[in-house]
Amino acid sequence: MYRIRPPAVAGTFYSDQANILARDVTTLLTAAVPQNDIPKAIIVPHAGYIYSGTTAAAAYASLAAGRGKITRVVLLGPVHRVAVHGLALPDADAFATPLGNIPIDHNAVALLNTMPQVVTSAAAHAWEHSLEVQLPFLQSVLGDFSLVPLAVGDATPAEIAEVLNALWGGPETLIVISSDLSHFLSYETAQAVDQQTAQRILELHGPLSHEQACGGTPINGMLLAAKRHHLQPILLDLRNSGDTAGDKSHVVGYASFAFMEDADHAH
């Protein structure tokens, strides 16, 4: 039986109407300024599009030139509802959004199933938004691709970096790390804290705490892998919900980064 993981937050984090969703994503992407080169990896936020869509689009706009070249996306995000020991694959053959179905890369799944830090958990993915909200952006910029979705729980940076290294591939593989920054600080405090966090990411200087970034665990693994593969991070956008659609008393921070391959070390 072909198993499809249906969208859990369509209609709340983003529109559940395909034509409206496509229009919303296109509008966000059109307003963004793409990088000259295609990133190997990106960090993007995962709030509702009204809050963090502009920041996410700043990274996704740079992937348009990868359409037809990027055919596999390795997507990591933190768990918000179900505790996981390690990194969790879904028990599914495809992820659905209002824009269509995205097939799971079963060759990658078979490889990851040999690694002790990787488990399978349908429950971890069933209501998890950190991965799902990235999918309409990816569908819009890349078209057809296969997906390796990993819901990250209690895992060390080394364990996550090992998974990323195993799936690194060449220009056909994109790595996406889903994370917001600080949560529920005042506007001014959040600006200061998030600026410091962004600087640490730019310096590849982990580990980050979950107070600095809710996806600190997958980011920490990404920072290790980025060092090993000589990636150069670029800050694309940094703001918070007080800048977009929320009040300024309790805000959530958002940033997007592109990780570019050093010409001397690229595949």
pLDDT digits (tens, 9 = 90+) for 186-208: 999 999 999 999 999 999 999 99
Confidence band of 265 (pLDDT split at 50, 70, 90): low
Cα R_g (the chain), whole angstroms:
17
Percent of the chain surpassing pLDDT 70? 98
Euclidean distance between CA atoms 153 and 240, whole angstroms: 25
Confidence band of 261 (pLDDT split at 50, 70, 90): very high
| Spans of all domains in the chain | 4-146+172-246
Confidence band of 15 (pLDDT split at 50, 70, 90): very high
Q: Given 3.90.1300.10, 3.40.830.10, 3.30.70.141, 3.40.50.300, which CATH number is that of 4-146+172-246?
A: 3.40.830.10
Residue 266 clears pLDDT 90, i.e. is over it: no
Percent of the chain surpassing pLDDT 90? 97
Any idea what DSSP says for residue 209? P
Residue 264 clears pLDDT 70, i.e. is over it: no
- pTM here? 0.97
